[in-house]
Amino acid sequence: MLRLKTLQRSQDILRSLLLFLKISLFLRQINGKIKIPYLIKALYSKKPVWLFIPKLVFNDDIKAISSKYLDVNFVSLKRGPLVALTKCIIGDNLSIYNYISNSEKIINRKKRLYKIYWLFIFLLKRVINLQGIISGAYYYVEQRELAKAALDNGIEFVVLHKECITSPIEILVRNYIFRERTGPFTGSVLLTYNQDELNNLKDNSVVPSKCITRVTGAPRIDELFKLNNFSERSIDVSFFWFGKYTYLPEHFFKGEDMWGKLKDLKLYNSIRWDWSNLQTSYLKAIIKYANINPNLNIVLKSKVGFEMSDHDINEIKDLKNIRLVKQGTAQSLLKNSKVVIAFNSTVIFEALAAHCYVGTLSFEEADKSKESGRLGTLDLNRSIEELKSVEEMYKFCDRFSSVQEENKLTIDGEKLLDQYLGNKDGLSSIRLRTVLQGLLK
């Protein structure tokens, strides 16, 4: 009996040492990842502190509600240390679309991760006036236990869920994933860009009964409504690239046969497709258009996570009047563009807000007379020009690249902005600030 107790104590000591080492690793990882000047400022300030976990587009949303508008110190906490800690403890067993697990081993590892997060927040809130953490999507693996730990420390965990567009075929997969694999949101406040997304999350049991929910829209596009520089814009045409599987079943669920899953669920059992022919025709058309219009200033923006091949990049580099942009968000380009061509992207709606003339591709697999076009593309209206051939794309670019008058936002355009980005008035930042202000103690 004495030996058994001694063994148990030894195991407890070893577990404690392991937990201490993991906390040390986390703190070492986090060193330099929190913006130190802002953290020092927070130490000497009586203002409430909110940690925000940056992500490319989400950063622009936070800028729109920055401290000059809200009496809060925002301190950036990079995802890197959180991801590293999660992998150290849980491993690669879970993903953002597969978080639920009945494995006792995984459940226990989640509990260990929770304890580290709990202690981290417990200590941090004793040196700064920490009141909340805000992130850009509810399903990030490294943040699920962090959200629980925050709430158990009396700290708000808010998500401005940035997902806001999908196709009819992809929504079938998303509903299954949300309902069966991601599990419920573990934070306290869930905000969305649009009402359809919030309804969808509620219908698929993502939103707990005690969770506060609001539709705020996309704060990052507020400034686009105020632009008044169309005649001074120097980019004649901005072409935006897209992925081979953009908003198809493989879009977010790489490595798994989601077409087969739809068949198993008896939701869809017909043709499979991707956008490879559309990509090929699009790139050839861009190159040809640049060649026959050497005096135009043209930009091709690649898409993060869906980068172009080296072969495609080399073809573009040989052209003097095309600039290939690989980094950053779309907004800096939209502010200086007259014509925008995009496909299955929020860029379509951001460009409307920026008073650009906007066309989308509606040929090859995206032809609306085909099943692939009807099920794989966004539902749009006449405020967006559907380009049914390469020739129509050329005519559209020719027509509007030389105009001096901006594209006025119409009622149809407002409907699309409200439907997808929840922002037809340029006031989303005010709506988000109002929610956060209500959470301050």
SS3 labels along the chain: CHHHHHHHHHHHHHHHHHHHHHHHHHHHHHCCCECHHHHHHHHCCCCCEEEECCCHHHHHHHHCCCCCCCCCEEEEECHHHHHHHHHHHCCCCCECCECCCCCHHHHHHHHHHHHHHHHHHHHHCCCCCEEEEEECCCCCHHHHHHHHHHHHCCCEEEEEECCCCCCHHHHHHHHHHHHHHHCCCCCCEEEECCHHHHHHHHHCCCCCCCCEEEECCCHHHHHHHCCCCHHHCCEEEEEECCCCCCCCCCCCCCCCCHHHHHHHCCCCCCCCCCCHHHHHHHHHHHHHHHHHCCCCCEEEECECCECCCHHHHHHHHCCCCEEEECCCCCHHHHCCEEEEEECCCCHHHHHHHCCCEEEEECCHHHCCCCHHHHHHCCCCCCCCEEECCHHHHHHHHHHHHCCCCCCCCCHHHHHHHHHHHCCCCCCHHHHHHHHHHHHCC
Phi-psi domain of 25 (left: phi exceeds 0; alpha: psi -120 through 50; beta: other): alpha
Domain total of the chain? 2
Pair 23, 159 in one domain: yes
pTM of the prediction?
0.86
Pair 212, 335 in one domain: no
Pair 174, 269 in one domain: no
Pair 319, 407 in one domain: yes
Pair 180, 236 in one domain: no
Determine the pLDDT at residue 18: 55
Residue range of the domain that includes 69: 2-222+427-439
From first to last of its 441 residues, the chain has per-residue pLDDT tens of 545 445 555 555 455 445 555 555 554 554 444 454 445 555 556 788 899 888 766 778 877 776 556 778 888 888 888 999 999 899 888 888 888 888 899 999 999 999 999 999 999 998 888 999 999 888 899 999 999 999 999 999 999 998 899 999 999 999 999 998 889 999 999 999 999 999 999 999 999 989 999 999 999 999 999 999 999 999 999 999 998 999 999 876 767 888 998 999 898 988 899 999 999 999 999 999 999 999 999 999 987 666 677 777 777 877 888 998 888 788 889 999 999 999 999 999 999 999 999 999 999 999 999 999 999 999 999 999 999 999 999 999 999 999 999 999 999 999 999 999 999 999 999 999 899 888 876
- Which tokens belong to 9? 């104590």
Pair 433, 399 in one domain: no
Pair 143, 269 in one domain: no
Pair 202, 283 in one domain: no
- Which tokens belong to 387? 């380009």
Determine the pLDDT at residue 321: 87
Residue for token digits 């490319």? Answer: 56
Separation CA 238–CA 215 (nearest Å): 30
Pair 174, 272 in one domain: no
Determine the pLDDT at residue 26: 52
Pair 164, 240 in one domain: no
**Is the separation of the CB atoms in 169 and 267 below 8 Å?**
no
Give the domain CATH number at 55.
Answer: 3.40.50
Determine the pLDDT at residue 366: 97
Strand pairing of 235-240 and 73-76? Answer: unpaired
Pair 262, 341 in one domain: yes
Determine the pLDDT at residue 97: 81
Give the domain CATH number at 414.
Answer: 3.40.50.2000
Pair 197, 263 in one domain: no
